[in-house]
Amino acid sequence: MVTRILLLLSLLISSQAALALDNLTASVDKNPVLAGEYFTLTITAEGKVKGTIPDVSALSQNFVTSPVSTSSRTSIINGSMTSSTSWQVQLVARTPGEYTIPAFEVDGAKTQPITLNVVAQQDDEQSKDIFVKATLDSTNLYVQQAGLYTVKLYIGQDLLDGQLSAPEAEGATVTQLGKQQEEYEIVDGRRYMVITREYMLQPQRSGDITIQPPVFNGQVREGYRRMAVSAVAEAIELTVNPIPSEHADNWLPSEYVNFSAEWQPQDTNVTVGTPLTRTFTLTAVGVTKEQLPELNMEEVEGFRIYPDTSERKQITRDGKVISQLLVSFAYLPQRSGEFVLPEVSLPWFNTVTKRQEFATLPAKNITIKADPNQSKTVAPTSSSESAASALTDSATTAETTVQNHIPQWLWLITALGYLLWLATVVAWWLFHKARPTAKPLAQAEVNQPRNMGFADAVKKDDPQAFYQALLAYLHQQQQSLSDWLKTQPSEVQSQVHALQASLYGKGTGEINLKSLYQALQKAEKAHLQQQSTTPLDSLY
């Protein structure tokens, strides 16, 4: 019995020794390989490992890498136990040359480095089945200037599946623009399916930057076989110029900038209290929409100026990144007279002429007229007017005296006319009572502003949220704030102006949001009731 126990212990000890890490090797399935062709690196550990995964991060400096896959195998033959663990990673080199795959370490054991030869693909018919082209609109940019990087994958075979990696550039941000496009082109008399992707590239430092091209890896059908294919574009060298120190505070690099403004209404000869809307449009080529500067208007004596709407857009056209900013301001004249709005100037750096320029809007002359509907001061009554008034009073007194002697038959005619009028009123009342009553307006229609967040803003006493709800409501109605105010009663206009002054002006007074909300509901209800009244109702 003791002998059996000792024999079992010896077997366990020998098996544990057999499971210890004995050997660590690394190999590739192809050498040499073609540029843009995937190959497999395998790291194998003979014996027991502690679950450690080899660090392969150094490979990303020279290769495009896939995730690491792990497999294990254990076997017992004639009482002897063996174990092995393998790690595999797919690699591809973008450019030809001689590369060294470094040594890897697992549990204290190391592999031997591998020298790999990468050769250029031959320009033959086979290599023309699938290929990738990459272009950059300009290879000489400034820091933060946007360039358009375009990738085109040409596929001339029956594609089963595939992956196209993104370009990489150390020292620059690369962002894909929109979705990829698919179309067909004929190249050298052969039809290809072309997949196009556009990327915006923005260098963040000066100097030389190498744009590592995208790599395609996939499978195609050739007859009844599935074949692995791969392709890679050529790398592009980019020269990045630094930001000139004298323009660092207002840096806007572009090859073209356009700055314009429009007035609504176009006729700027308006009366006091009539709002004007001024919409600025700033367009720049070669920058992102986030790089466009904010527009702030200077205070003008005699006006209250409030921001209205703002919108930023970005598109690509003819290989260029084009951004646009639209900003509207409401100008509310406070008194009559002649006014001059100062010019608006924006500095920008012309990347073509390599000097600073200014996008300028000239000063604007505006004439504000007094409101003719304002109440006028009553002039003192002259002596002649007093005399005329006295004569009128005398005539009225005389007429009253004469009417005191009206004959009785005239009183009888008057009484009959009164009875006839009274009968007409009763008939009219009975007729309207018999008619079906008009359907009341739906509560949701009368209180349309309620759904836009007004009630919550009033409850929280949040003027900013109330103003944003008002802008959202007008946007839903497809109206601008200035046009809408023209149709509102003076009570609503004055309270909205007070709200704007508290948010964007120098006003510090308290705003009664509840009162303003009730005034908006009252005005909206009156507007809806006026729309629901038919021409036939007005006759009665």
439-484: pLDDT as tens digits: 433 343 334 444 557 888 888 888 878 877 887 787 777 777 777 7
Position 390 confidence tier, pLDDT thresholds 50, 70, 90: very low
Closest Cα to residue 466, out of 508, 498, 505, 443?
498
Does residue 99 register a pLDDT over 80? yes
Q: Please report how the helices 490-504 and 463-476 are oriented relative to each other, as an axis angle in degrees rounded to 10.
A: 120
> Residue 443: its pLDDT value, please?
40
**Rounded CA separation 307/184 (Å):** 48
* For residues 394-417, average pLDDT: 51
Is the model more confident about 402 or about 268?
Answer: 268
* For residues 194-207, average pLDDT: 93
**Rounded CA separation 473/478 (Å):** 9
Closest Cα to residue 22, out of 55, 44, 53, 51?
44
**Rounded CA separation 56/69 (Å):** 12
The one-letter code for the residue type at 499 is: L
The DSSP 8-state label assigned to residue 287 in this structure reads: S
Superfamily of domain 130-241: Immunoglobulins (2.60.40.10)
Beta strand pairing call for 344-350 and 270-271: unpaired
> Residue 127: its pLDDT value, please?
52
Average pLDDT, the chain: 77
- Residue 483, classed as helix, strand or coil, is helix
Beta strand pairing call for 172-187 and 190-203: antiparallel
Is the model more confident about 249 or about 208?
Answer: 208
* Per-residue model confidence as pLDDT tens digits over 312-345: 999 888 778 899 999 999 988 888 888 888 999 9
For residue 142, report the phi and psi dihedrals to the nearest 5 degrees. Answer: -100, 160
- Residue 201, classed as helix, strand or coil, is strand
Q: What would the CATH number be for the domain defined by 2-119?
A: 2.60.40
Does residue 524 register a pLDDT over 80? no
> Residue 149: its pLDDT value, please?
94
CATH entry, 250-369, from 2.60.40, 3.30.70, 3.40.50, 3.90.25 = 2.60.40
Position 428 confidence tier, pLDDT thresholds 50, 70, 90: low
* Per-residue model confidence as pLDDT tens digits over 282-315: 999 989 999 999 888 888 888 888 888 889 999 8
Instruction: Tell me the range of 318-327, 366-375, 411-420 where mean pLDDT is highest.
Output: 318-327
> Residue 457: its pLDDT value, please?
81
Instruction: Tell me the range of 223-227, 308-312, 434-438 where mean pLDDT is highest.
Output: 308-312
> Residue 197: its pLDDT value, please?
94
pTM of the model: 0.55
> Residue 134: its pLDDT value, please?
94
> Residue 433: its pLDDT value, please?
57
| Omega prior to 265 cis, within 30 of 0 | yes
* Per-residue model confidence as pLDDT tens digits over 127-183: 578 899 999 989 999 999 999 999 999 998 888 888 898 999 999 999 998 889 999
Q: Which helix (DSSP H) or strand (DSSP E) does residue 40 occupy?
A: strand 39-46
Position 112 confidence tier, pLDDT thresholds 50, 70, 90: confident
Torsion of CA 283, 287, 288, 292, to 10 degrees: -50
Does residue 257 register a pLDDT over 80? yes
CA 527 to chain centre: 35
**Rounded CA separation 359/289 (Å):** 17
Name the H helices within 278-351. Answer: none
Does residue 352 register a pLDDT over 70? yes
Q: Are 26 and 101 in contact (CB under 8 A)?
A: yes
- Residue 80, classed as helix, strand or coil, is strand
- Residue 167, classed as helix, strand or coil, is coil
